[in-house]
Amino acid sequence: MAKKELTPEKKQKRKGIIKYIIYAVLIIGATTLSYIKVDWTKVGPALSEVYWPWLLAAVGIAFFSYVLDALIWKVFMRLYVRKYTLAKGMAVSMIGTFYSSISAGSRGGQTMEAYTLSNQGTNKSNAASIILTNFIIYKIALMGFGLVALILRYDLIPHVGHFQLFNVIDISMTPLIIIGFIFDIFFIILLFLLAYWHGFHNFVMNKGIGLLGKIKIVRKPDETRERLRIEVENFKMELKRLFTNIPVFILILILFVGILICRFSVPFFIGASMNAFNPEKAGIDGNTFWNVCFISSYHQMVTSIIPIPGGAGTSEFFFESLFVNYFKPEYISATQIMWRSLTYYIMIPIAGAVALFYKPGAREEALKVDSKTFVKLQKETYGERKKTFEVQNQTAIFNREQLKEKMKIGLSKNKKQNKHVVSPYSQDILEKEVKNDSDDIYSEIFNDLKESGMKKKKNNQGNDWDEINIGK
């Protein structure tokens, strides 16, 4: 009797299950390998000396970083929907964290975040727009923080240790930090160049990818060109959209910097909880706090080189190599274990539980995710997002001209009456109201401000705002 052939959907589901099993084995194997060299006789005594207020501060600062992340999602979603709670934003943050932590190169995180957002009141097109904008601002924040770390505290780099693996591999961390920084900025700079340098764009798309195809580095040149074209066009459009709302851009950027500081500072609070700092190099003070943040930034750069799910294994190895001179030898392993537990091992089951129970359909969707999934989403929604952006942009220009004309007429009428219109709003804010007239959320915010700032009434001159005589 012949076997029943599986449908394409079931084949994809089975492939997804196998993929996540491989990821799980890889994570467990790499993590186990990283702990073989740990001297466990020193870990127990070190952990027994923990000062709980500092440890609770570490837990609090780590948790607060996810609150800030949830707030970012809330800010984005409030641009598209009238009501959006912080709890929903936290769900998106947890789901994104989980799938990013268990997939190579964090590929699953973006797709599942988009899927979750599309189930929270917005459409797939808006969800894709939010994810892309979120990615751009995050990369800008990461690049900026890394650049500050390299420029302001470049003197820390020579004092970091070497990466040693079972006394076989011994590599200086300095070149790895530089390579990691280049990896961090490479993709975003490449998109900028491809988007705004026409000659470079043509060279890469034609000769560059063609050459890489001939020497077998790129297996499918045509598919690679199409994928890169989609990435570039989406990047250009979302960047334009981003800079039409500078206040939101600045707010999100500040929140991302806050997230980076919170997460990069966790080793400081853990080190302080055990008094683990090497007295010759550091102490429990502000200078050490920022040094730890900058070294943690170097750690992020280095671990980004190797796309193992969640940085399993490499994150543990590189932590000890980077902080070897900052913590006492008998405390370095205990510090690393507590830091990794708080930022990864404990977060996986918590975020996994949210991913499992928040939206049941998400489990099925997760099995379909691969390296091409988010690119497909961008391609599917590009036309709709471009049309929406163009309409909003043209409407904004038209409405701004209308508003200026109305303001001129209103002011000229009031001058004749020797009266002055008093409003606590600048012209920019008034323009913003008209610009976003088609968007419910902005109309709602403007009305709230208007009601709290002044009383609106009609008078016999037909003027909507309160008036004050300024005398003859």
User: Using alpha carbons only, what angle is made at residue 295 by residues 47 and 182, rounded to the nearest 5 degrees?
Assistant: 140
Better pLDDT: 417 or 279: 279
- Is the model's pLDDT at 26 over the cut of 70? yes
Phi-psi map region of 121: left, alpha, beta (phi>0 left; psi -120 to 50 alpha): left
Predicted confidence band at 106 (pLDDT cuts at 50, 70, 90)? low
Predicted confidence band at 142 (pLDDT cuts at 50, 70, 90)? very high
Percent of the residues in the chain that have a pLDDT greater than 70, as a whole number: 71
Better pLDDT: 434 or 295: 295
- Is the model's pLDDT at 310 over the cut of 90? no
- Is the model's pLDDT at 345 over the cut of 70? yes
Beta pairing, strands 419-421 & 169-172? unpaired
pLDDT score of 13: 66
pLDDT tens, residue by residue, 447-457: 444 444 444 33
Query: Among the residues of 304-439, which ranges form H helices?
Result: 314-323, 332-340, 347-357, 361-366, 373-416, 427-435
User: H or E stretch including 165?
Assistant: strand 162-165
* Mean pLDDT value of segment 45-55: 89
Which own/partner contact pairs does 125-130 have at CB distance under 8 Å and 24+ positions apart?
Answer: 125/381, 125/384, 125/385, 125/388, 126/80, 126/385, 128/234, 128/377, 128/378, 128/381, 128/385, 129/238, 129/241, 129/381, 129/385, 130/73, 130/76, 130/77, 130/80
pLDDT score of 405: 63
Better pLDDT: 411 or 315: 315
Better pLDDT: 112 or 63: 63
pLDDT score of 404: 58
- Is the model's pLDDT at 343 over the cut of 80? yes
**Distances from the Cα of 114 to the Cαs of 31, 102, 127, in angstroms?**
29, 17, 5
Better pLDDT: 72 or 397: 72
Query: Among the residues of 221-331, which ranges form H helices?
Result: 221-242, 246-264, 266-273, 286-303, 314-323
pLDDT score of 338: 92
Predicted confidence band at 72 (pLDDT cuts at 50, 70, 90)? very high
Rounded CA separation 43/368 (Å): 41
Rounded CA separation 108/307 (Å): 13
pLDDT score of 399: 55
Rounded CA separation 118/87 (Å): 16
pLDDT score of 262: 96
pLDDT tens, residue by residue, 398-418: 555 555 565 566 555 555 554
pLDDT tens, residue by residue, 206-257: 888 888 888 877 778 888 888 788 888 888 888 888 888 899 999 999 999 9
Rounded CA separation 339/316 (Å): 9
Rounded CA separation 280/295 (Å): 17
- Is the model's pLDDT at 374 over the cut of 50? yes
Q: Which of 446, 437, 435, 425 is nearest to 401 (CA)?
A: 435
Q: Which amino acid is at 456?
A: K
Rounded CA separation 205/188 (Å): 17
- Beta carbons of 417 and 470 less than 8 angstroms apart: no
pLDDT score of 140: 92
- Main-chain phi, psi angles of 421, to 5 degrees: -80, 125
pLDDT score of 152: 85
Strand partners, 467: 421
Average pLDDT, the chain: 77
DSSP state of 163: E
Better pLDDT: 194 or 398: 194
Of 62-66, 162-166, 412-416, least confident by mean pLDDT is: 412-416
Rounded CA separation 365/354 (Å): 15
- Is the model's pLDDT at 261 over the cut of 90? yes
pLDDT score of 137: 93
Rounded CA separation 436/430 (Å): 10
Mean pLDDT comparison of 21-30, 125-134, 194-203, 339-348, highest-scoring range: 339-348
Q: How crowded is residue 201: how many other Cβ atoms within 10 Å of its Cβ? A: 17
